[in-house]
Amino acid sequence: MHRAIEDVSDIDGCVPELPLDEFYRMCEHQQFTSNKKLVDFGNGSGLRFVTVYAIQDLSPVGNNNLEYVFQGLTNDGKYYVKIIAEMMHSSLDGTGEIPPDVMTGSAEDVQEYFGIFGEIFSQNESGFTPELDWLDEVIGALSFE
């Protein structure tokens, strides 16, 4: 963190995460990552992104499991900040469903399927509720002592 990442385009695919508690989400748990952006807060900075997590199997992309994730460090490196907020997107219906041909397809089929959501979300950031910019502003107003 700590502005070690100068450009979010340097981050391809998974966004490594530090544990929030005893439940640790690994890269393999992220079905996709989209809408990556560097966000500054009062005394630090970090990276936000949108994802859907799956622990044991594939999870469909739906309004019931879409999440905004922010993780960053204070400038002094003393505090790690992680915020997760539930999201909805206007292009999604309910819980979503993974097509059977994707479930039985190759790893490339799965990657292509989830990649579509990254494209949809990147092209329509205004479709998120709450709005990404609003969440970024809330985080920007925080300071940790």
Single-letter amino acid code for the residue at 136: D
59-83 residue pLDDT tens: 888 898 899 999 999 999 999 999 9
- The distance of Cα 52 from the centroid of its chain, to the nearest Å, equals 7
Q: Is the dihedral of CA 16, 20, 22, 23 positive or negative?
A: negative
Residue 35's region, left for phi above 0, alpha for psi from -120 to 50, else beta, is left
CA atoms of 52 and 31, how far apart (whole Å):
6
Please tell me the pTM assigned to this model.
Answer: 0.84
pLDDT of residue 115 exceeding 60, the answer is yes
